[in-house]
Structure 1
Amino acid sequence: MDVTEDPRRRVTLADVARRAGVSTALVSVVMRDAPGASQASRERILGVAKELGYRPDVRARSLASLKAHVIGVLFGKAGRFHLELLDGLYAAAEERGWDLALSALTDSRDEKQAVDSLRDFRLDALVMLGPPVPEPLLAGQVPVVVVGWHVDHPEVDIVRTSDEHGMALAVDHLVSLGHSRIAHLEGGSGLVAQARRDAYRSAMRAHGLEAQIRVVPCGGEDQLDGQRGARALLQAGSELPTAVVAFNDDIAAAAMSVLAQQGIDVPRDISVIGFDDSVLAQSPGIDLTSIRQVPREMARLAVERIVARTDGADVADREIVLEPGLRVRTSTGPVRES
């Protein structure tokens, strides 16, 4: 049966060879970008492959090769920043000639289930964007890099931005604008949320504002959680803060929306700072002051560390900590005079 007669069937090398009128071996040479095919043959075969919608079978290719090919990636619903990290991982892996196999974490799909689905690809290494756990399941079995949090396991590499410095930058900026009643919209119970919560408290103490420390529970990291946190802030019954530092940009943007619905102006009544400096923060409708991370650089470093580990190279330090930056936009301003 011709592949065009059954669009549900996966297009194979044999299909491409049949349509192009060449051998399957020659198609394989072209798809692997190996020597042995004329320029005319390459162009014809690639044209037919594109016409038929041929895509390489990643699992078959990794099984057939002795060279490491596949990086498994675990990711969760941690807002837009994880999407930007994924984009960076694709770019960095492609540059190295590697493939990615993605597995998502959901409310009903935990780390074990997500890892088990990756085993079908015979992954050669693992990059974890989530879940932020202290003991990744595959630690010590394949090279593992976690992105965004600290792990004590000696066989796990780490690429993260300094949450301590990031929160210090946020609180320093607000204090310089005259704010002292500064609350924190936290991001749930995970390790990253805990690190940023602790960093917020430390930054407040550094300015002598321990009595003003106020952590508002959101329950998670996405925009629905941010809405819940903002409503909790408004319903607390105590005096509203003059500024808020959110766990991430998604929570900050959602909080700004809830505040606007209640007639509370940002930044005139409350200044708001996010964390990540994602595309969301930079959008004209949000224009959010945020702590900047660089997802493409983090992704590049994670892939470089994976390649180094699989090549058996000596690695001086298993933890890479990047320094964040502060991007000031219109969501923060001077404290309003009473």
Structure 2
Amino acid sequence: MVGDVADEQPWPRRRVTLADVAKRAGVSPALVSIVMRDAPGASPQSRERILAVAKQLGYRPDVRARSLASLKAHVIGVLFGRAGRFHLELIDGLYAAAEERGWDLVLSALTTSRDEKRALASLHDFRFDALIMLGPPVAEPLLAGSVPLVVMGWHVPHPGVDIVRTSDEHGMAQAVQHLVDLGHRRITHLQGGTGLVAVSRRDAYVKAMRSHGLDGEIRIVRCDGEDQLDGQLAARELLKDKLPTGIVAFNDDIAAAAMSVLTQHGLDVPGDVSVIGFDDSAIARAFDLTSIQQIPHAMAHLALDRIIARTTETAVPDRELVLEPDLILRSTTGPARRQ
């Protein structure tokens, strides 16, 4: 019984090598290397057999060894930070897009004690060909102009940086318009920290409110960050004062957390307060939350297309792609309660 369980372990106890695959398939390691590099020199039958054996054994290419052996390793470094569920969905999309194109990803996380410089230092061991940044949202990335670089989510003025982002202005305009159409005037924004994306969405909210003549109703509650704990703390701040009838949050994490706190205090969503998130992530779908939609897998494919174009010196018509999001209506928004 113990042996059966061990045999079913999804991860090998040691790394499977080219030699292991060659021994099982009854061929030379050189032939296995040709197949794994998708290089010419193997018959269709040999290629099929070797790939089947590699899959059976759980063989994975050694990305570091390949990057040291080749000037074109097809490795993309990805910097990501603490930014809620949406970044996880972006990373999932990047993995799918990279696999389709035969590239590898190497991830490095940003934490409270690990800044951009330290995160990049760990990536240098892999000699990556290009870089995608999901964070930190800085105006001047350290490697701007040094390697093909795509930032996702914010604007960077440096001409050597490509950008794939959603229009915060368009998204916030739709959210505020929707609430105004439902009769709301007291509409509060929960701001996710002080980063460039948070400031962009805050400014877009302010602009949208002013376009409806609601200057006097502008109210911003700033969260320290972008996750659910920050949303809970922001909602408790709201409870200390006159409640708004509508809330537009920085992201779905904050919106869902705020909504939970409101319902815990006996308030009805959307009867007492309508709530809108941003991202349309899995959290929005789980909470049936009205949200401004970003499409992470589509954005990931666009980012990979630009990376490949830059590394192959293919012409790129415009370094900045700004996508216009849709507002996805669900059950957390409704007519404003009587004032």
Inter-partner Cα distance in structure 1 for 2:204 and 2:51: 53
Matched AA of 2:327:
L
Task: Flag the 1:145–1:282 CA change in 2: closer, same or farther, 3 A.
Answer: same
Worse overlay, 271-280 or 104-113: 104-113
Match of 1:70 in 2: 75
Superimposed CA distance per residue, residues 62-115 of structure 1 (whole angstroms, 9 cap, x where no aligned partner): 333343501111111211111111121112222222111111111221111111
Match of 2:255 in 1: 252
Matched AA of 1:217:
R
Matched AA of 1:280:
I
Match of 1:282 in 2: 285
Kindly indicate whether the alpha-carbon contact (under 8 Å) linking 1:88 and 1:295 is maintained by their aligned counterparts in 2. Answer: yes
Pairwise CA distance, 1:134: 0.8
Match of 2:297 in 1: 296
Kindly indicate whether the alpha-carbon contact (under 8 Å) linking 2:90 and 2:296 is maintained by their aligned counterparts in 1. Answer: yes
Aligned residues: 329
1:19 aligned to which of 15, 24, 28: 24
TM-score normalised to structure 2 length: 0.93
4+ residue runs over 4 A deviation: none
Task: Flag the 1:303–1:257 CA change in 2: closer, same or farther, 3 A.
Answer: same
Q: Secondary structure at the match of 2:126?
A: coil
Match of 2:4 in 1: none
Matched AA of 2:78:
V
Kindly indicate whether the alpha-carbon contact (under 8 Å) linking 2:130 and 2:149 is maintained by their aligned counterparts in 1. Answer: yes
Superimposed CA distance per residue, residues 152-181 of structure 1 (whole angstroms, 9 cap, x where no aligned partner): 112111111110111111000000000000
Inter-partner Cα distance in structure 1 for 2:165 and 2:32: 42
Q: What's the Cα RMSD here?
A: 1.6
Match of 1:239 in 2: 242
Kindly indicate whether the alpha-carbon contact (under 8 Å) linking 1:68 and 1:310 is maintained by their aligned counterparts in 2. Answer: no
TM-score normalised to structure 1 length: 0.93
Q: Secondary structure at the match of 1:131?
A: coil
Match of 2:319 in 1: 318
- Kindly report which structure 2 residues correspond to 1:165-184, keeping only aligned pairs within 5 A, or say none: 165-184=170-189
Instruction: Indicate the percent of aligned positions where both proteins have the same amino acid.
Output: 75
Inter-partner Cα distance in structure 2 for 1:38 and 1:144: 38
Inter-partner Cα distance in structure 2 for 1:87 and 1:116: 23
Pairwise CA distance, 1:243: 0.6
Match of 1:152 in 2: 157
Kindly indicate whether the alpha-carbon contact (under 8 Å) linking 1:186 and 1:216 is maintained by their aligned counterparts in 2. Answer: yes
Match of 2:39 in 1: 34
- Kindly report which structure 2 residues correspond to 1:1-338, keeping only aligned pairs within 5 A, or say none: 8-235=13-240, 238-283=241-286, 286-338=287-339
Inter-partner Cα distance in structure 1 for 2:320 and 2:49: 47
Inter-partner Cα distance in structure 2 for 1:95 and 1:329: 33
Matched AA of 2:298:
E
Q: Secondary structure at the match of 2:298?
A: helix
Kindly indicate whether the alpha-carbon contact (under 8 Å) linking 1:287 and 1:331 is maintained by their aligned counterparts in 2. Answer: yes
Matched AA of 2:269:
V
Inter-partner Cα distance in structure 1 for 2:156 and 2:131: 14
Task: Flag the 1:304–1:44 CA change in 2: closer, same or farther, 3 A.
Answer: closer
Pairwise CA distance, 1:39: 4.3
Inter-partner Cα distance in structure 1 for 2:164 and 2:183: 34
Inter-partner Cα distance in structure 2 for 1:160 and 1:41: 44
Inter-partner Cα distance in structure 1 for 2:86 and 2:192: 14
Kindly indicate whether the alpha-carbon contact (under 8 Å) linking 1:245 and 1:272 is maintained by their aligned counterparts in 2. Answer: yes
Kindly indicate whether the alpha-carbon contact (under 8 Å) linking 1:242 and 1:335 is maintained by their aligned counterparts in 2. Answer: yes
Pairwise CA distance, 1:298: 1.2
Inter-partner Cα distance in structure 2 for 1:309 and 1:48: 35
Pairwise CA distance, 1:37: 2.9
Inter-partner Cα distance in structure 1 for 2:51 and 2:102: 19
Kindly indicate whether the alpha-carbon contact (under 8 Å) linking 1:183 and 1:214 is maintained by their aligned counterparts in 2. Answer: yes
Q: Secondary structure at the match of 1:245?
A: strand
Kindly indicate whether the alpha-carbon contact (under 8 Å) linking 1:129 and 1:148 is maintained by their aligned counterparts in 2. Answer: yes
Kindly indicate whether the alpha-carbon contact (under 8 Å) linking 1:182 and 1:212 is maintained by their aligned counterparts in 2. Answer: yes
Matched AA of 2:325:
P
The unaligned stretches of length 5 or more in structure 2 are: 1-6
Matched AA of 2:277:
G
Superimposed CA distance per residue, residues 235-260 of structure 1 (whole angstroms, 9 cap, x where no aligned partner): 2xx21100100000010001111111
Matched AA of 1:271:
S
